[in-house]
Amino acid sequence: MKEIGEVSPSMKSISKINIGRTNVSVSRFGFGGVFIGDPDEITTDDQAQATLAAAYDGGVRYFDTAPWYGNTKSEHRLGQFLRNKPRQDFAISTKVGRVYSRPADEADFKANSPWAKRWLGGLPFELRFDYTYDGVMRSYEDSLARLGLARVDCLAVHDLDPRHQKSEAGVAAALDQLEQGRGFAALRELKEQGEIGAIGAGINEVGMISRFVERFEMDYFLIASPYNLLEQTALAEDLPLCEEHGIGVVLGAVFASGILASGSRAGAKFRYQAADTAILERVREIDLICQRHGVPLTAAALQFPLHHGAVNCIIPGANHPDQVTANLAAYTTAIPDDLWRELKQQGHLPLEAPTPG
């Protein structure tokens, strides 16, 4: 096992693709910045930097983050790494919708705020949702300062959905802020001025993509849950809608929040919660099929979504260099067509899901 901080001697190449119809070029295997925000365990700064170095040395050239990840910690860590790299060599995306400030009482915030409790190692900053013009611009400028970069390539509206806005009324109000409050106008101005190359939205649930498309001119969606080896609910309407409009898709949560990386074991996470018995059994069955074909479960999970024509790239997260190395190896593992056929025959994938063969 390599020591933390040690990287491979030669950089590998990962194919690139443009996001949607934009000129933003990204590596098809990217890096998701959730886990360097310390959601469930504390990662040292040295380990976080070594993890990013392993990704960069492995050929990764697209990095995604957000102020929400670790209450700004992920942006700080990613910026520390990337601002020492040639700016033309990588693409980076971050998100808007949350504005951060210091809490009036730090001790009370740490003890009682749900935002503090979400991130085990998160930073002590309070947030408010704000999708207005001023809120978007404030969030954008704050992100640049944390990253230490003069620009980002992609900027996405974050967590405008029922889960985070708490109700349909909350979603409607946030959409109105984005439209009537001119939050989307701010994004459009940034793109027209050449400060960003693509406008996106992070989506956790099916049904939101159509609501964005009918009101805004989108370049891409970052889909975080509804399309992976375990769940394909985006296959019916959301992904076809993206194809129809030439909208790119960045695929997060390729491991379904963890269970497709850990396998079927007690405490494994699915959709950010402990997986129930039915999900554990289904993953066990999928894993057994993969084993019969000599394919790691992680390889099938990483490669499956990339066969859909709407999906431009995947962004698995990591908080240790060995995880990155293992994921890159799984990404390049040869998978026989018979594996996909058996998964469909056994009912684990819809027959219409795009796969080789």
Tell me if residue 282 falls in helix, strand or coil: helix
Does 100 participate in catalysis according to the annotation?
A: no
Distances (CA, A) of 205 to 87, 96, 133, 242, 271: 33, 18, 25, 15, 11
Query: Which residue of the set 69, 220, 227, 331 is catalytic?
Result: 69
Tell me if residue 6 falls in helix, strand or coil: coil
Cβ–Cβ under 8 Å, residues 231 and 187: no
Query: Which residue of the set 56, 57, 62, 95 is catalytic?
Result: 95
The rounded distance, in Å, linking the Cα atoms of 227 and 311 is: 10
What are residue 25's DSSP bridge partners?
Answer: 18
198-203 and 220-223 strand pairing: parallel
Q: How is residue 29 annotated by DSSP?
A: B
| Cβ atoms within 10 Å of 34's Cβ, excluding its own | 24
The rounded distance, in Å, linking the Cα atoms of 122 and 71 is: 5
Tell me if residue 317 falls in helix, strand or coil: strand
Amino acid at 249: V
Does 337 participate in catalysis according to the annotation?
A: no
Does 64 participate in catalysis according to the annotation?
A: yes
The rounded distance, in Å, linking the Cα atoms of 173 and 165 is: 9
Helical (H) or strand (E) element with 298: helix 297-303
Query: Which residue of the set 38, 64, 153, 219 is catalytic?
Result: 64
Cβ–Cβ under 8 Å, residues 163 and 205: yes
Among residues 122, 124, 146, which one has the least CA distance to residue 70? 122
φ/ψ of residue 227, rounded to 5: -145, 105
Q: Which residues are catalytic?
A: 64, 69, 95
